[in-house]
Amino acid sequence: MNLQIFSDYEALSEHAAQFVMNYVRQKPNATICVASGETPMLTFKKIVEKAQPHDFDEVTFVALDEWVGISPDNPGSCRAYIEPYLTLPLNIPAERVSYFDALSADLEAECARVNDLIAAKGGLDIIMVGIGLNGHLGLNEPGTSFDTYAHVSELEPITASVGQKYFTNETTLSQGITVGLKHFLEAKVAIVLANGSRKKDIIGRVINEPVSEALPASLLKIHANGHLWVDEAAGV
């Protein structure tokens, strides 16, 4: 695991954005899985600022996860934190962006669709995610098998509680649909970003505790090309 600590959120985001740009310019048909939420927002902004015409003409984006039962036009949806800030500004056509349909009557079929898409692309080139206060990656909660591909997860109370910040009204969050930890392990590059003092404790656990499915983010330690990038506030 490559641990890097940056002076602040700005420097962290600049590094992450430049990494993505360098990768895409070396592999124009890259498949990139991105998380929603607050952590990657500045990285998205910087990617958009750095992008030159045609940089993303062949790139496919896969959204990491979604709250089950939440409409894509809900401002608290995961899609609402990716589409307006990354894929639309980069003019990525719909056929090269995959979002989970969390309203689907057949969520298992949705999981299969995403699994098949990633497999057809030869796996993910980059997966870039944040980290939950309980160490989750995406909506892969503690106890999720490292051998799991896309699946429906039961959310822990802390995840449902923290997730309320994205919604204007109290919203029932009980399940998520997410790219799996096996996808994470099989990605050519796996990146976890963390910023702010509230992430300090969980980052300390990832660094100091052994690899365990009880701490999903600990799998970075067994990834062949895993990176943990944090700002000083989140670092240890």
Residue 94 burial by CB count (10 A; 0-12/13-18/19+): exposed, middle or buried? Answer: exposed
Residue 141 among the catalytic residues? yes
One-letter identity of residue 153 = S
What 8-state DSSP symbol labels residue 102?
T
Active-site pick, 66, 125, 141, 186: 141
123: left (phi over 0), alpha (psi -120 to 50) or beta: left
Q: Which helix (H) or strand (E) holds 168?
A: none
Q: Is-contact 193 129, C-beta < 8 A?
A: yes
Residue 186 among the catalytic residues? no
Residue 65 among the catalytic residues? yes
Residue 151 among the catalytic residues? no
Which of 63, 86, 85, 67 shows the shortest CA–CA distance to 76? 67
Active-site pick, 83, 136, 227, 231: 136
Q: How far apart are CA 227 and CA 206, in angstroms?
A: 12
Active-site pick, 101, 110, 125, 134: 134
SS3 at position 156: coil
Number of H helices, E strands in the chain: 6, 10
* Catalytic sites, residue numbers: 65, 134, 136, 141
